[in-house]
Amino acid sequence: MFADGAIYRDGRRTAEPLGLARLDGSGTDGALLAWAGLDRPTEAEFTAVARQFGLPDAAVAHSLHPHQRPRLERYGDTLFCVLRTARYIDESETFDFGEVLVFLGPNFVVTVRRGETPDLSAVRRTLEARPELLRRGPVAVLHAVMDQIMDDYGPVVAGVENDIDEIEDEVFDGSAGAPRRVYRLSRAVIAFQRATKPLPSMFDRLIDEPLFDEDERRALRVVRDRALQLVEQADAFRQVLQNILNVNLTLETKSLAEMSNALTEMSNDQNEVVKKISAWAAILFAPTSVGTIYGMNFQIMPELSWELGYPFALALMVLVGIALYGLFKKQKWI
């Protein structure tokens, strides 16, 4: 929809219809500025405003395709700038991306917002409260919009930092859900990198534009430095998350190794118990075996009529038991 629009003379809002902005060429000296603001317009709404301000067809065609990367293009005397906005949703640890399109002409500026941020109405109010800034023309609006977008990145960075701290604690506490959070946040950070990485080079090109004076170039360098810092932070977030993932993998591997060692020790203990049971069973089985043989009461058994048969059987049981005990003791089964 059409959010707001006005003509400014010498930095102050007038009651003139916005359409007069293209009829009066005196705005090239900065005395006249027309500013049209659109908030998530339909294609028909945007096309109507583009026709009113005589925006280049190529720039309009690019503008009809949302979710572009930051870019800066010049079409004759019109400068076309695309900026990505971001809002961090802490509950889902994802980013809600939007974009702001800015068209700058000699005496007009058209801003198009697609997304929840930034609050361009607040930017307009701030500039209207400082006529000396609006007196500088369209470049003042572009600079203010860029400043607001960079300010809105602050809570995003803070939100990611906070979640990374939480994930680190979860990893060292052994939380099973930590790897999933790492992967989810890593994907979000990669998307954030794509949205911010072109900014420094875009600002470098913008600084070289002849429509900016030295004061504006100096201010843009400050914005560029903020963008560089933002890109470095996004890269650092990605590296930290990768390190956290590696640490989590190391801890899981260590935990599995400890579990395997514990199972091995348990298995060894069970083997020792089995050995002892088997050894004593063999020792007890030997006398039983001798007694069973002599208890068969066969008629032809020489030992049955032998006077020393009974002592011999007893001695044989004891000797076999002692021999087996010595054997198992030597093998450390007992």
- Give the closest residue to 185 by CA, choosing from 98, 124, 265, 94: 94
> 72: which residues sit within 8 A by CB, 6+ positions away?
79, 80, 81, 82, 202, 205, 206
Distance CA 268, CA 288 (A): 30
Whole-prediction pTM value?
A: 0.69
The two structure tokens encoding residue 299: 């008629």
Query: Distances from the Cα of 95 to the Cαs of 87, 171, 228, 298, in angstroms?
Result: 6, 23, 20, 94
How do the pLDDT tens digits run along the chain, 334 residues long?
Answer: 566 778 888 888 887 666 544 434 444 444 688 888 888 888 888 888 888 888 888 888 877 776 678 888 888 888 899 998 888 887 777 788 888 999 998 888 999 988 887 888 888 888 888 888 888 888 889 889 988 998 888 888 888 888 888 887 877 777 767 777 888 888 888 888 888 888 888 888 888 888 778 888 888 888 889 889 888 888 888 888 888 877 767 656 655 555 666 666 676 667 776 777 777 777 777 777 766 766 666 666 666 666 676 777 777 777 877 877 777 777 777 7
CATH class for the region spanning 2-253 = alpha beta
List the alpha helices (DSSP H) in 173-198: 178-196
- Could you tell me the fold of the domain covering 270-330? Methane Monooxygenase Hydroxylase; Chain G, domain 1 (1.20.58)
pLDDT at position 307, please?
67
pLDDT at position 248, please?
67
Peptide bond into 118 cis (omega under 30): yes
pLDDT at position 27, please?
40
- Sequence ranges of the domains in the chain: 2-253, 270-330
pLDDT at position 105, please?
87
Distance CA 72, CA 79 (A): 7
